[in-house]
Amino acid sequence: MAHDHHHDHDHEHGSELSDMQLRTRALETILIEKGYIDPAAIDELIETYEKKIGPRNGAQVVAKSWVDPQFRKWLFEDGTAAIGSLGFGGRSGNHLVALENTPSVHNMVVCTLCSCYPWAVLGLPPLWYKSAPYRSRTVADPRGVLADFGIALPKDTEIRVWDSTAELRYLVVPMRPAGTEGWSEEKLAELVTRDSMIGTGVAKSPKELT
Amino acid sequence: MNGGQDLGGMHGFGPVEPEPNEPVFHAEWEKRAFALTLAMARPGGWNIDMGRFARENRPAGEYLAMSYYQVWFAALESMMKERDLVAEDEIAAGHSLHTPKKVERVLSPADVLKVLHRGGPTERETNTKPAFKPGDRVRAKTINPPTHTRLPRYVRGRIGEIERVIGCHVFPDTNSLGAGENPQWLYTVRFDGRELWGPQGDPTATVSVDAWEPYLVPA
Amino acid sequence: MNGAADMGGMHGFGPVVPEDNEPVFHAGWEGHSFALNMATGVAGVWNLDAFRFKRESLPPAEYLNLSYYGLWTRTLELMMLEYGMATPAEIAAGHAIAPFEKAPQPVTAAQCANMVRCGSPYNRPAPAPALFKVGDKVRAKNMHPTYHTRLPRYARGHIGEVVRIVGCHVFPDSNSQNLGEDPHWLYTVRFDGRDLWGEGSDPTVRVCIEAWEPYLETP
């Protein structure tokens, strides 16, 4: 149905919400009655992606790459293996590629055709990543999209956009912020935001840590 | 297909609007729709390429007006109906009315983490050699299949450079039709911003896509 | 712009469904929507290219889900707002609250009848000789302006043949932004269906478009 709004939020009006609630509940009931699904498995799946798999995984990878030069080299040569060594992988993470941000190159990841995203290291994607504005504009106007995130890069920085059209999943490795010498991996991981690992943000600076 | 999902390069959607402290799911039903889709993949007998096609295979206006998980839900319903796993009258009634179909392996809670950890690797063995090597100039073909493909419209006909030979991977164009995995050599191909968008393109930007060999010809 | 209106080559909309004994207007309001737009055109507050630009810049989900005259009405609302003919409060209230300062003379029935009879020709004196002649091979540029253009996405980057020199016409890309008529030579260009749609497509198909000279280059 047409809405008089000019953005793609997933907000729903009362009647739509209850309609989807009813329909989903009805379908789940049927599938349980038919024995196609075990409801406890449904709960487990939800629990896993709500609580267990998330951007903290990726932050751990990035933090390690900042302190461990051998790991960093391995990460860029064979992302799947290096990340796998930390216990992360599997669904939407069987083929991982790490992208190095440098002072002259900034990477951004998008899936214009649907919502492919490295679940194994970042969890499920945010709504904006899956919505039309991001999917349509990032490949054509990456600087404009960065501006929507309040990021302005130098005019001569090369911007590399990666459209995830196959099963490769991309993880941006942001640059390590200044003033973090001697920090532990755990503390460094707190600076690594989810957006910095997609390429719509940069890592936090030490003073941004409350 | 040239559907509502092929969004790269489209105009008119407005700014990207991130939501602060966004929850993983915005409503209880979204959680269920998500988990049902994952849990039904094996019993349903469809592969991820079929799933993607089911989502995009609708009028563009419908695709764009539905929320993210509404599209997932619609695709789940249609795939199950197509395979006679559920019927329209059962959906209307909210209960099973007909004998269940025999299905392979129902997902148990104990298996969830194991299944997620295994994921769905798409690399396959091959005796063939890749046609292209890094540095080669290639042109993305002008193809317009009404069925599932992963070559976005905005690169078709454009010239790029092979950045990387990834490996031999399941080919979605055939796998989505149930016509076999038909693995093909897969490459990362980089395109210059101006090559894609003309003189208005950002000269500091490049776009890389992962493209299978059947999508490419030497330039 | 690459908006929802640029539908050439899109899939998923289903079959063409002709309606038997279709009335000119499906409801009274449609007739009024049509007539209001004609009348405001006569009034000369905005030009047709600007109107088309406004219509196609509707958010794609909205564009695709409005009916044909729904689009005209919505566009008229937006044009009235943009050109100061009405305020949001007036549109919501459904009547004028303040006078329209720049109001032209009220449009009369005689003026409308005259417009129907005479139309508004778009040909203009030529600023320079035509670049191309009949039989020339030309390539439609790979341009992706965010402003109004009449070069559809499906033609961009493809090589066709000039089959007719139409004349020198008002240039929509400029006129729609109120940057002046900027007339350019207009050509009918014919493309081979296989170039547009791919090697497996119907070899008997040709597609012609009218393209202004700035859209074209020598291959």
The burial of A127, by beta-carbon neighbours within 10 Å (0-12 exposed, 13-18 middle, 19 or more buried), is given as buried
- Report, as an integer, the average pLDDT of A163-189: 97
Determine the pLDDT at residue A12: 56
Please tell me if residue C59 touches chain A, with a CB cutoff of 8 Å. Answer: yes
Mean pLDDT of chain C: 95
Which residues have CB under 8 Å from C114's CB, separation 6+? none
Contact A3 C62 (CB under 8 A): yes
Examine the pLDDT at B170 and tell me if it is beyond 60: yes
Assess whether A114 carries a catalytic annotation: yes
The C-alpha of C59 sits at a distance from chain A's nearest C-alpha, in angstroms, of 6
Domains for chain C: give ranges and CATH numbers: 28-118 (1.10.472.20), 137-217 (2.30.30.50)
Handedness of CA B146, B150, B154, B159 (dihedral sign): negative
Contact C57 B13 (CB under 8 A): no
Contact B142 C59 (CB under 8 A): no
CA separation, residue B200 to residues A75, A140, B192, C69, C146 (Å): 35, 9, 12, 33, 9
Q: Convert chain A into a string of H (helix), E (strand) and C (coil).
A: CCCCCCCCCCCCCHHHHHHHHHHHHHHHHHHHHCCCCCHHHHHHHHHHHHHHCCHHHHHHHHHHHHHCHHHHHHHHHCHHHHHHCCCCCECCECCEEEEECCCCEEEEEECCCCCCCCHHHHCCCCHHHHCHHHHHHCCCCHHHHHHHCCCCCCCCCEEEEEECCCCCEEEEECCCCCCCCCCCHHHHHCCCCHHHHHCCCCCCCHHHCC
Assess whether A65 carries a catalytic annotation: no
- Report, as an integer, the average pLDDT of B43-56: 97
Mean pLDDT of chain A: 93
Q: What is the pLDDT of residues B96-135, one digit of tens each?
A: 999 999 998 899 999 999 999 999 999 999 999 999 999 9
ipTM: 0.94
Q: d(Cα A152, Cα A156) in Å, to the nearest integer?
A: 11
The class level of CATH for A54-208 reads alpha beta
Assess whether A104 carries a catalytic annotation: no
Per the residue annotation, which of A15, A65, A104, A114 is the catalytic one? A114
Q: What is the pLDDT of residues C84-128, one digit of tens each?
A: 889 999 999 999 998 877 777 888 999 999 989 988 899 999 999
Model pTM score: 0.94
Query: Strand B137-140 relative to strand B159-169: parallel, antiparallel, unpaired?
Result: antiparallel
Determine the pLDDT at residue A13: 63
Determine the pLDDT at residue C43: 87
- Report, as an integer, the average pLDDT of A177-195: 97
Predicted confidence band at A15 (pLDDT cuts at 50, 70, 90)? confident
Determine the pLDDT at residue A8: 42
B/e letters for B13-45, b = 16+ CB within 10 Å, e = fewer, are bbbbebeeeeebbbbebbbbbbbbbbbbbbbbe
Which chains would you list as touching B if contact means 3+ CB atom pairs under 8 Å? A, C
What residue segments make up the domains of chain A, in order of their start? Answer: 14-50, 54-208
Determine the pLDDT at residue A209: 86
Examine the pLDDT at A7 and tell me if it is beyond 50: no
Predicted confidence band at A103 (pLDDT cuts at 50, 70, 90)? very high
Examine the pLDDT at A2 and tell me if it is beyond 50: no
Q: What is the DSSP letter of B122?
A: -
Domains for chain B: give ranges and CATH numbers: 28-118 (1.10.472.20), 137-218 (2.30.30.50)
Identity (one letter) of the amino acid at B90?
E
Contact C9 B144 (CB under 8 A): yes
Closest among C154, C162, C171 to C190, alpha carbons compared: C162
Q: What is the pLDDT of residues C64-92, one digit of tens each?
A: 999 999 999 999 999 999 998 899 999 99
Contact C61 A8 (CB under 8 A): yes
Q: What is the DSSP letter of B199?
A: G
Determine the pLDDT at residue C92: 94
Please tell me if residue A151 touches chain B, with a CB cutoff of 8 Å. Answer: no
Residue of chain A minimizing CA distance to C63: A2
Mean pLDDT of chain B: 97
DSSP string spanning C115-178?
HHHH----B---SS--S--TT-EEEE-----SS-----GGGTT-EEEEEEEEEEE--HHHHTTT
Examine the pLDDT at B65 and tell me if it is beyond 90: yes
Examine the pLDDT at C10 and tell me if it is beyond 90: yes
Predicted confidence band at A16 (pLDDT cuts at 50, 70, 90)? confident
Determine the pLDDT at residue B58: 97
